[in-house]
């Protein structure tokens, strides 16, 4: 009797193992077939599938803030996962309001960033468009984008009971002080020690140099793609850029990014050569400021297109190639200190305005559309001042739309529609 029970157990265990081996083989086959196709959807599907099954492949997962130094993770073969990118997906799939409400029921204020609210709620229910993010083995938080991420990542480090590394990048009101460089550079060494401990292996400096070169090349290509919109008509709009941005954020430092943007660049050049614009009969060219209103991107594109206006560029997607001039590809590690500190959200309003004016000139913008984003205070603070400076220097008008990137409760369609119509009358009169 005892023997037959043991036999049955062994048979069941053997069966389970066979099922598992079969499932893994099927999974690998699926990943391989998706990898052969090079579209955004396939690349992102494979990326999330690999991240979700990281343990099967013996790899680790790190959650990292959108402006965080990802290259050391890639060099250590750690899969980086971006809760903010996930937040954008939640917003675009219109699941944000529900998750924000859920976090508010957990006690988080509705004044908090909706990426943070959505992510904190999502982690508890494995919700959202992809059934939650893969569980992290560690968290990496860089405060070059805001202070919210510090508390958000502390909450998640406690929830998942995993180590958290914080990279502190002082705000750069003007220029870049030598003390700041030394301070951030020292922390990069601490980051490497943290990764060695978390991964249980030595850091590979040569690999980091290679990843750094790929990262820079990816940024150059992304900038070249964005630059194609300086043509009239613009072959793509900022709304397309919001979509294509995902790879330079999530897979920066890999070959895949290079291949994807090379193909995209060729496609955009072809559209330019054939005079194909994103907006039919493009007459007015506008600049977008701040994070997109994810659930409303299509509506906004159509609304502006109905006025023959194309949002040709934006401060958001260009932020992922905005500090290339500080990167030394022959000394990537050292140059990371400056490149990761002087990003758009970590500089003073005057410098921000200067960057916006450069974009207005480069893309020949007739006006600026600013999303005053209730969630993202560091991005929205200073917009009135920037609008005033640009108007004074270039004589073009600005529109400020009050909304939120994820939480649809903050969006009033009729109000925004009226404001866009009124703004477009001013733009048309100014041409």
Residue 242 within binding range of ligand SF4, rule CB under 6 A: no
Among 148, 219, 254, 297, binds ligand SF4 (CB under 6 A): 148
The one segment of 28-36, 140-148, 205-213, 314-322 that binds ligand SF4 by CB under 6 A:
140-148
Residue 375 within binding range of ligand SF4, rule CB under 6 A: yes
408: DSSP letter: G
Q: How far is the CB of 123 from ligand SF4 (least distance, A)?
A: 15
The one segment of 15-23, 315-323, 373-381, 386-394 that binds ligand SF4 by CB under 6 A:
373-381
d(CA 431, CA 429): 6
Q: How many CA atoms lie within 13 A of 34 on its CB side?
A: 17
d(CA 328, CA 223): 17
The vertex-220 CA angle with 214 and 223, nearest 5°, equals 140
d(CA 203, CA 24): 29
Query: What DSSP letter does each residue of 297-349 carry, written as one string?
Result: HHHHHHHHHTTTEEEEEETTGGGGGTTGGG--TTSHHHHHHHHHHS-GGGB-H
Q: Name residues contacting ligand SF4, limited to 59-98 (CB under 6 A).
A: 84
Residue 62, φ and ψ in degrees, nearest 5: -120, 130
Among 115, 191, 242, 261, binds ligand SF4 (CB under 6 A): 115
Among 146, 192, 214, 225, binds ligand SF4 (CB under 6 A): 146
Quote the tokens at residue 428: 């048309």
Residue 143 within binding range of ligand SF4, rule CB under 6 A: no
The one segment of 142-150, 167-175, 359-367, 396-404 that binds ligand SF4 by CB under 6 A:
142-150
Residue 416 within binding range of ligand SF4, rule CB under 6 A: no
> For the window 271-290, what string marks contact with ligand SF4 as x by the rule CB under 6 A?
--------------------
Residue 376 within binding range of ligand SF4, rule CB under 6 A: yes
> For the window 286-315, what string marks contact with ligand SF4 as x by the rule CB under 6 A?
-----x------------------------
User: How many chain residues are in contact with ligand SF4, going by CB under 6 A?
Assistant: 12
Quote the tokens at residue 4: 């037959």
d(CA 309, CA 234): 11
Contact 343, 143 (CB under 8 A): no
Binding site for ligand SF4 (CB under 6 A): 84, 113, 115, 145-146, 148-149, 291, 375-376, 378-379
């Amino acid at each position: 009797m005892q023997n037959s029970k043991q036999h049955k157990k062994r048979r069941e265990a053997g069966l389970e193992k066979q099922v598992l081996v079969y499932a893994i083989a099927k999974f690998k086959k699926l990943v391989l077939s998706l990898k052969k196709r090079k579209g955004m959807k396939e690349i992102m599907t494979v990326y999330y599938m690999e991240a979700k099954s990281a343990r099967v492949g013996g790899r680790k997962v790190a959650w990292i803030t959108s402006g965080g130094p990802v290259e050391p993770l890639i060099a250590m073969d750690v899969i980086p996962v971006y809760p903010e990118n996930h937040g954008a997906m939640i917003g675009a799939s219109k699941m944000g309001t529900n998750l924000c409400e859920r976090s508010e029921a957990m006690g988080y204020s509705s004044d908090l960033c909706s990426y943070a609210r959505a992510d904190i709620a999502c982690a508890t229910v494995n919700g959202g468009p992809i059934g939650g993010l893969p569980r992290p083995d560690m968290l990496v938080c860089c405060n070059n984008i805001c202070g919210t991420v510090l508390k958000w990542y502390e909450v998640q480090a406690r929830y998942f009971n995993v180590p958290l590394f914080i990279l502190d990048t002082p705000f750069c009101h003007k220029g870049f002080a030598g003390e700041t460089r030394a301070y951030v550079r020292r922390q990069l060494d601490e980051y490497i020690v943290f990764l060695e401990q978390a991964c249980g292996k030595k850091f590979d400096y040569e690999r980091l140099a290679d990843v750094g070169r790929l990262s820079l090349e990816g940024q150059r290509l992304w900038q070249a793609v964005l630059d194609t919109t300086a043509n009239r008509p613009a072959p793509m709009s900022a709304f397309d850029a919001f979509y294509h941005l995902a790879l330079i954020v999530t897979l920066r430092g890999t070959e895949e990014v290079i291949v994807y943007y090379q193909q995209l660049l060729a496609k955009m050049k072809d559209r330019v050569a054939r005079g194909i614009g994103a907006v039919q009969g493009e007459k007015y060219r506008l600049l977008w400021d701040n994070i997109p209103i994810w659930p409303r991107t299509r509506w906004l594109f159509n609304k502006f297109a109905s006025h023959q206006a194309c949002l040709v560029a934006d401060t958001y997607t260009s932020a992922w190639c905005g500090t290339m001039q500080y990167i030394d590809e022959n000394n990537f590690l050292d140059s990371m200190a400056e490149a990761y500190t002087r990003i758009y959200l970590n500089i003073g309003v005057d410098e921000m305005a200067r960057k916006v004016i450069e974009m207005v000139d480069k893309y020949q913008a007739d006006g600026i559309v600013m999303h005053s984003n209730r969630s993202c205070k560091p991005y929205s603070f200073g917009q009135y001042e920037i609008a005033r400076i640009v108007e004074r220097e270039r004589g073009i008008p600005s529109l400020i739309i009050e909304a939120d990137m994820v939480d649809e409760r903050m969006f009033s369609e009729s109000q925004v529609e009226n404001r866009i119509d009124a703004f477009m009358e001013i733009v048309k009169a100014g041409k």
